[in-house]
Chain A
Amino acid sequence: MYATQLASPATKAMISRILTSALFAGAAAGLITALLQLVFVQPVLLHAELYESGALVHFGAEAVSAHPDLPGMFAEPIRDGLSIIFTMLTYTGYALVMVALMSVAQGQGHEINARTGLLWGLAGFVAFHFAPGLSLAPEVPGVAAAEVGARQIWWTATVAAAGIAMWLIAYGGNIVSYVVAALLLMAPHLIGAPEPSTFSGPVPTEIGALFAARAFGVGMAAWALLGTFAGYFWQSEGARAEATA
């Protein structure tokens, strides 16, 4: 019975609808995000790398200009090209998770379209970007940091907890859900993210702060687009399937 269930027309149609919606939404949002990153985030990263490499020295013998000459967009085509590809892949991964959860929510009677998709996108930004970023801020290259494995475990647990919290806030519908959601959002930060034993980053704090702010800003725009596109494609794929049924 299980095998027939897997190959049933309904299951095939649902898989096709999820994959199509997610691929379109992820690729579109990913491409726009990649370009936003190249304009707003990459220059700050390249500036930080000048300090990381020692080309510039903070608190050195002479004062250092805050406006060094930086390579322009696509000055390193392979590096920037790979960034575009990996951004599109990453956001397609996010889109697959989000559209899958949208299909479950619609199965429970909740409306999914471009407008509600925007809220989904903002919830995704909180879960995958802002919640972990609250204690593991987006890092410029060269910052001191704890061992990467420990940070990845903490990052993953925080994303999972925040994701469940978003679902409880959206669909819990009672005070217990909201309290549990608040606890899930706070717990990882009360436990604390893995931190370095000493600070040794060579990059000026001004650049570090600008980098984190730009990463969050572009991330929020990216997720708002992703959610809106996912909701739109999910709805239009559904309408198309009904029209041909």
Chain B
Amino acid sequence: MTTKTLKAAAAGSSILPAIFAVVLGLGIITVTGHVQASGLHDAAHDVRHATGFPCH
């Protein structure tokens, strides 16, 4: 493996965890703030209003 490939691999590996965390974070935010399933909407209703999400 040439030095260049190793550097690319190292740089690649340092961004993977960040991408994973952003996707996980956005997933949680989408479920708690946007999903309109009625049970979820009712449970998160007050928080969505207080946090500025479009509610219903």
Contact = CB atoms under 8 A, between A and B. Distances in A.
B is bound to A: yes
Interface of A: 1, 5-6, 8, 10-11, 14-15, 18-19, 22, 34, 37, 41-42, 45, 79, 82-83, 86-87, 89-90, 92-101, 103-104, 107, 129, 132-133, 136-141, 145, 148, 151-152, 155, 211, 215-216, 218-219
A211 B49 CA distance: 9
Given A45-B46, A155-B53, 11 more contacts: A10-B13, A11-B13, A14-B16, A18-B17, A45-B50, A93-B26, A94-B25, A129-B51, A139-B49, A215-B49, A219-B51
Interface residues of B, number: 37
A50 to B, nearest CB: 15
Residues of B contacting A: mostly: helix
Most chain A C-beta atoms within 10 Å of own C-beta, residue among B44, B54, B55: B54
What 10 A-B pairs have minimum CB-CB distances, sorted nearest first?
Answer: A96-B25, A93-B28, A151-B54, A100-B21, A93-B29, A97-B25, A14-B17, A100-B18, A15-B17, A86-B47
23 contacts: A5-B9, A18-B17, A42-B46, A45-B46, A87-B50, A87-B51, A89-B28, A89-B32, A90-B32, A94-B29, A96-B21, A100-B17, A100-B22, A103-B21, A107-B14, A138-B52, A148-B36, A148-B55, A155-B53, A211-B49, A215-B52, A216-B52, A219-B52
